[in-house]
Chains A and B, each alone.
Chain A
Amino acid sequence: MSDRKTRSFEILRRKLLVASLLVPTVTLAPSLTWAAPKTADINSTGLAVTDKTVTVGILHSVTGTMAISETGSVQAEKLAIEQINAAGGVLGRKIEFIQEDGASDWPTFAEKSKKLLVNDKVAAVFGCWTSASRKAVLPVFEQYNGMLYYPTFYEGLEQSPNVIYTGQEATQQIIAGIDWVVKNKGAKKFFLLGSDYIWPRTSNKIARKHIEKLGLKVVGEEYYPLGHTQFNSVINKIKLKKPDVLYAIVVGGSNVAFYKQLKAAGIDMTKEAPTVLTISVTEDEIRGIGGENIEGAYAAMKYFQSLTNSNNQEFVKAFKARWGDDIVIGDVTQAAYLGPWLWKAAVEKAGSFDIDKVRAASPGIELMTAPEGYVRIHENHHLWSKTRIGKAKRDGQYEIIYETDDLIEPDPFPAGYQ
């Protein structure tokens, strides 16, 4: 009985999917034949829009410490812009971009964002990576009314009318991951470890609240300065406390040192004693760490390169064709790729490049073609998205072993978790 019910539901779902695929093509077809709308009608605030082009900004660090992480985002955003242009642009206009270098320096980010908004009058900016750089540009975007598409998973506790957050906020990433490890690995004791700055600390705070809410125990919580390279003492402490789960939010160069030393100290992650669960190691980081050093660890995030849906297969193919075969794509790179597409959808829905109209049109924007699957912009400017658990393999990719059934609602100000 119930079997038949689910099957008929399955059929209904498929029909809906087919219908939803048809709808946009049907509505899009006539718009291609129309002449592009007049510039004055779609740009009443003096943005850099001409009859043929619209200019946007890309603002990432391509020099300095953060260049390691931000390079992938720049590549993704450029690819998305090229693809949009190849498909006819936005409101009949080709996207041109001005790229500025934040140089891993937060005041520089603020200065460059002001230049993009005030001098170049860009219609949108895709950029920033660290929370510190986002916090630095935020007042500029709010003062001059710009639109920023921010790609990184981050700690939450923020919601600006001038930012669309295309990465996950902390609760989306953390709670699903901990629920999974409790249910599937029977975890009772947790050891929380992180680099010493706002994101790992806030994330571990949320993790600790959730663990304690489930009636389980946190046996240790430790932070090490950014760039720390010697983890032998804390590894001994972990061995002494014997947690079931080592919850690690170590970032940057420390990551490499940490996993190499963990492995060298005889903690074989494939044996899962303890199970290592991280939210800070994407495929990008594994390249530096080495697959053999992190094999067997689990990561909780919304995107892995190994996702098998057709959107992602096309995305990976296009990305490699554009940037080289040996490239890997991590969670943030994918989130950065969503930025230009979400902006295009919002502009088309608003029928205008005006920031206020784009903002008003943004909540509810859906993207069927996202590599991670379907996403939708929430009223709070974050994305509804699924969370997945991947198991690190020797070749540097993740094997996806779990994904949440439903999209998780973004909750940047989680009640009871602060």
Chain B
Amino acid sequence: MFADYSMVELTSIFAMQGFAGLILFSVFVLMALGLAIIFGQMGVINMAHGEFMILGAYVTYLTSSVFSTYLPEYFGSYFFLAMALAFCASAGLGALVEWGMIRHLYRRPLDTLLATWGLSLILQQIYRSVFGAREVGVELPEWSMGSIALTDMIEVPINGIFVMCLTIAITFCVYLMMQRSSLGKQIRAVVQNRPMAGAVGINTEKVDRHTFAIGCGIAGIAGSAFTMIGSTGPTAGQLYIVDTFLVVVFGGAASLLGTIASAFTISQAQSTMEFFLSGSMAKVLTLLVVVGILMIRPQGLFTIKVRK
């Protein structure tokens, strides 16, 4: 396969392939973080996760339309405002859903699975009715397009770097929140022992609502960022949901570190295999490996001890 190429070409292709793997890793982490918080900390299987992401994408679309019509001179920086708005919109909807639906279904994981799946269908149809069945084109600021040429051969996509930085920032924020803030402590307390947490005066219902809202909000930010690399349509959320669950389950449901480790493993395996095999085969092999490992380690890569 490589006989016809010079050393320089090969080095640069492998360097770029390394970047491709890292970008895929960032994408996986970004889309899985929100779900990991909800699934891992609350045990809720949120099938509508993809639709919360797409809500973020549509908010970005609306923001970009508003800016290009009314504030064209600030168009270059609309994206940051859009991400903040996307977080608020998805978190708000998340809180509403938790209040109206999820809280009645705790301890009934199969019912939440069905209910959130129904919710995802409802949201899809709402998007379709409001924004139309066709995909919308989100106009992106000029700086986010194209690539940086490091050498003649090595070119790194700017949107990839942006997603990478965003992922690092958000992961860091989530880490701080979970480990340092009082909300984080409360969340961890509720996960480890719900009745005891309630007994020491933690309002567990409020904690649940905040956890769910934050998870959804992060999904919204992810959706907003993915307008740079993917499509924005009523059913686009479905494109991400399988990979998202794969990453979270493989990583071990209750561990954020596990999510990151599993995103890294899956993304590197997939992008390497995509390079040497064809796309469909790479996907099949990735899934096979994941299923194989889960058979040996059903709890996933990392687990934390939980008192049941």
Asked if B27 is at the interface (CB within 8 A of a chain A CB), the reply is yes
B135 and A265 within 8 A (CB):
no
Known A256-B135, A264-B145; contact A225-B230, beta-carbon cutoff 8 A: no
- Encode B9-37 as 1/0 by CB contact (under 8 A) with A: 10001001101100110010000000000
Asked if A45 is at the interface (CB within 8 A of a chain B CB), the reply is no
Known A71-B133, A264-B145; contact A230-B27, beta-carbon cutoff 8 A: yes
Q: Which of A222, A240, A287 contacts B135 (CB 8 A)?
A: A287
Asked if A46 is at the interface (CB within 8 A of a chain B CB), the reply is no
Chain B residue numbers with a CB within 8 Å of A140 are none
Chain A residue numbers with a CB within 8 Å of B133 are 62, 67-68, 71
Q: Which of B132, B159, B280 contacts A260 (CB 8 A)?
A: B159
B235 and A64 within 8 A (CB):
yes
Q: Report the minimal beta-carbon distance from B306 to chain A, rounded to whole angstroms.
A: 33
Q: Which residue of B lies closest to A224 (CB)?
A: B279
- Encode A254-291 as 1/0 by CB contact (under 8 A) with B: 11110011011110000000000000000010111111
Asked if A319 is at the interface (CB within 8 A of a chain B CB), the reply is no
A288 and B238 within 8 A (CB):
no
Asked if A228 is at the interface (CB within 8 A of a chain B CB), the reply is yes
A227 and B239 within 8 A (CB):
yes
Size of interface on A: residues with Cβ below 8 Å to B: 45
How far apart sit A234 and B139, CA to CA, in the bound complex (Å)? 25
B279 and A257 within 8 A (CB):
no
A264 and B134 within 8 A (CB):
no
Interface residues of B in 97-146 (CB under 8 A from A): 125, 128, 132-140, 145-146
How far apart sit A254 and B23, CA to CA, in the bound complex (Å)? 17
A290 and B279 within 8 A (CB):
no
Chain A residue numbers with a CB within 8 Å of B230 are 229, 253, 256-257, 260
Chain B residue numbers with a CB within 8 Å of A286 are 137
Asked if A105 is at the interface (CB within 8 A of a chain B CB), the reply is no
Q: Report the minimal beta-carbon distance from A62 to chain B, rounded to whole angstroms.
A: 7
Chain B residue numbers with a CB within 8 Å of A290 are 137-140
B280 and A288 within 8 A (CB):
no
- Encode B264-308 as 1/0 by CB contact (under 8 A) with A: 000000110011001110110000000000000000000000000
Q: Which residue of B lies closest to A196 (CB)?
A: B280
Q: Report the minimal beta-carbon distance from A255 to chain B, rounded to whole angstroms.
A: 7
Chain A residue numbers with a CB within 8 Å of B27 are 230
How far apart sit A253 and B158, CA to CA, in the bound complex (Å)? 21
Chain B residue numbers with a CB within 8 Å of A65 are 235, 238
A240 and B238 within 8 A (CB):
no
Chain B residue numbers with a CB within 8 Å of A236 are 13, 16-17, 20, 275
Asked if A233 is at the interface (CB within 8 A of a chain B CB), the reply is yes
Interface residues of A in 369-418 (CB under 8 A from B): 396
- Encode B133-168 as 1/0 by CB contact (under 8 A) with A: 111111110000111010001010111100000000
- Encode A275-318 as 1/0 by CB contact (under 8 A) with B: 00000000010111111110000000000000000000000000
Q: Which residue of A lies closest to B239 (CB)?
A: A227
Chain B residue numbers with a CB within 8 Å of A145 are none
Interface residues of A in 58-109 (CB under 8 A from B): 62-65, 67-68, 71
- Encode B192-204 as 1/0 by CB contact (under 8 A) with A: 0000000000000
- Chain B interface category by residue count: 35 or more
Chain B residue numbers with a CB within 8 Å of A67 are 128, 133, 234
B231 and A71 within 8 A (CB):
no
Asked if B228 is at the interface (CB within 8 A of a chain A CB), the reply is yes
Q: Which of B23, B134, B136, B238 contacts A232 (CB 8 A)?
A: B23
How far apart sit A290 and B271, CA to CA, in the bound complex (Å)? 26
Known A68-B135, A225-B279; contact A266-B146, beta-carbon cutoff 8 A: yes
Interface residues of B in 231-255 (CB under 8 A from A): 231-236, 238-240
Asked if A223 is at the interface (CB within 8 A of a chain B CB), the reply is yes
Asked if B229 is at the interface (CB within 8 A of a chain A CB), the reply is yes
How far apart sit A345 and B231, CA to CA, in the bound complex (Å)? 41
Chain B residue numbers with a CB within 8 Å of A254 are 231
Chain A residue numbers with a CB within 8 Å of B13 are 236, 239-240
A229 and B157 within 8 A (CB):
no
Chain B residue numbers with a CB within 8 Å of A266 are 146-147, 149, 155, 157
B137 and A229 within 8 A (CB):
no
Asked if B5 is at the interface (CB within 8 A of a chain A CB), the reply is yes
How far apart sit A235 and B138, CA to CA, in the bound complex (Å)? 22
How far apart sit A233 and B273, CA to CA, in the bound complex (Å)? 9
Chain A residue numbers with a CB within 8 Å of B229 are 229-230, 257, 260-261, 264
- Encode B209-240 as 1/0 by CB contact (under 8 A) with A: 00000000000000000101111111110111
A253 and B231 within 8 A (CB):
yes
Chain B residue numbers with a CB within 8 Å of A13 are none
Q: Which of A228, A264, A289 contacts B137 (CB 8 A)?
A: A289
Q: Which residue of B lies closest to A259 (CB)?
A: B231
B231 and A257 within 8 A (CB):
yes
Which residues of A does B touch, CB under 8 Å?
Answer: 62-65, 67-68, 71, 196, 222-225, 227-230, 232-237, 239-240, 253-257, 260-261, 263-266, 284, 286-293, 396
Q: Which 4 A-B pairs have the closest CB atoms?
A: A288-B135, A256-B231, A232-B20, A224-B279
